[in-house]
Amino acid sequence: MTVRPGQIIGEYRLVSFIGAGGMGDVYRAEHLRLGRPAVIKMLKHLDAGGAAWQRFFNEARIQAKLNHPNIAVLYAYYDSGMPPCIIMEYVDGLTLDQMLQQHGRLAPETTVEYAVTIAETVHYIHSRGIIHRDLKPNNIKINSRNEVKLLDFGISKAAFSQDLTAAGNCIGTDRYLAPEQLQGHPAGVASDIWALGALFYEMLTGRKAFEGGTWGELYTAISSATYIPPTTFVPELSPDLERIIATCLKKQPAQRYPTAAALANDLRIAAFPRGSVPSGATRRHWSLPGWSGRGKWPYWAAGVLLALGLGGGAFFVLQDDTAEIQPRKSSPVPLHLATPPPETIPQTGLRTVRINVYGNPARVYLGTSKDPQGNPHPTPYQTAYPRGTHLYFILQRPGYKNCVGDFTVQDSTEANNYTYQLCKTTEPCPPSGCK
């Protein structure tokens, strides 16, 4: 079927050709009566009932079930008497890929603003049983109002979707695939979080987290979770942001953030400049209802926290800040981030933490300082800390390298259950000494 500008499809007139996607050609269109701009994606391969058609229909069905300000809206789906067409909201602006091409990399504060919204949006689709499976700069757009829009659900997987991937195969864009996907395992929440880590790395550095001159080299880099630390390219980058990326890019899925919401919350905490939080206050106010996640404070943003019986109490006032953050081409202003010291975390309930290792037991040193001291405990070791506490640990076993790392206490029992694989002293392994 020949398609040309001016052609009528349903209630829309084609205006111009935008480009070609993986499954379809994309056109800008306009509603005949309302004048509303739209995008029409038209399936290229007319295999009625075949794999391409099923995948195309899957995209429309998934997008029809989503209602979120940071996801492009589906207007209509046609598949009668013409090539199947998806008609959706027209999003102006640039993709993150285009922004990175123009600016090289984004300022840390800009990255955090966008990253919080992206992570929250991904958590929204996860909460509806949908895995995106193709999170990358080309599939995220920043419109003229500086709002994030998540695009392209063409290879997303939902509970109601047919099995569109052959057994043992992986689907997605190579450089954003998680190690378990390369091994043929199904994509899940953890693999989307891995892709978010690779995406945020690229936003901060202007470089791909995983590179390779050949497919074999790329496969090795991803499979071993080996990448150049982002501070190599951006020395002024906050340790907190580097830690967040490292948590997303853990080789073992269970060691990544348990949810995209936990990732978003850690990004919010990291966004406070050092010293901006008064003594006795907590940075958890980012999680209060009304936070838009689009680079603006809520309009009601004025709150007072009164702590009685603590030396007269402590007050904390939220300030209104409606300035939009724009991408910068020049060198970004360093963003100094800090993890809240344990004493600022309210004692609102303890969460059980369990640490174990594969194989024979090890000794674990655990604490809130970067160099945990005191008596070691044998694994498996179980204890309890307030939610939000940042913990550091050292695992020791004769004949093995010390395993060192850190994590933040989460809400769920599953999220606080950590199991590590120690590295023998005679074997190459990550700097942390564990996998």
What tens digit of pLDDT does each residue of 64-80 get? Answer: 888 889 988 888 888 77
Backbone angles phi, psi at 431, to 5 degrees: -55, -30
Tokens 């007319």 sit on residue: 46
- Do 262 and 130 fall into the same domain? yes
- pLDDT digit string (tens) for 25-41? 888 889 989 989 998 88
Q: Which residues contact 310 (CB under 8 A, 6 or more apart)?
A: 280
Q: Which residues pair with 130 in a beta bridge?
A: 158
Q: Residue written as tokens 């958890």?
A: 284
Pairing of strands 12-20, 417-420: unpaired
Same domain, 46 and 124: no
Specify whether the CB–CB gap between 153 and 122 falls below 8 A.
Answer: no
DSSP annotation of 251:
S
Provide the pLDDT for residue 299: 34
pTM higher than the cut 0.85: no
Report the number of distinct structural domains present in the chain.
Answer: 3
CATH number of the domain within which 40 lies: 3.30.200.20
User: Does 134 participate in catalysis according to the annotation?
Assistant: yes
pLDDT of residue 272: 55
Q: Which residues contact 160 (CB under 8 A, 6 or more apart)?
A: 61
Whether 84 and 125 map to the same domain: the answer is no
pLDDT of residue 96: 93
Residues 34 and 77 in one domain: yes
**Residue 281 near residue 316 (C-beta atoms within 8 A):** yes
The whole-number pLDDT of residue 153 equals 59
| Ranges of the chain whose pLDDT falls below 70 | 1-2, 21-23, 45-51, 81, 153-173, 272-349, 374
Q: CB count, 10 Å around CB of 199?
A: 25
CB atoms within 10 A of CB 420: 23
Annotated catalytic residue within 25, 47, 79, 134: 134
Asked whether residue 99 falls in the same domain as residue 189, the answer is yes
The verdict on residue 311 lying in a domain is no
d(CA 111, CA 116): 8
Place of tokens 């209104």: 320
Task: With CA atoms as reference, report the closest residue to 385 among 367, 365, 360.
Answer: 367
The answer to whether residues 107 and 256 belong to one domain is yes
**Do 262 and 365 reside in the same domain of the chain?**
no
Asked if 245 and 377 sit in the same domain, the reply is: no
Residue 263 to residue 126: CA distance in whole angstroms: 13
Instruction: Assess if residue 432 is contained within a domain.
Output: no
Position 206 in a domain: yes
Inside any domain, residue 123: yes
Query: Domain containing 374: what range?
Result: 349-420
The confidence score (pLDDT) of residue 22 equals 61
pLDDT at 21: 64
pLDDT of residue 432: 82
pLDDT for position 119: 94
Residues 120 and 255 in one domain: yes
Which residues are registered as beta bridge partners of 378?
363
Given a contact cutoff of 8 angstroms between Cβ atoms, the answer to whether 366 and 378 are in contact is no
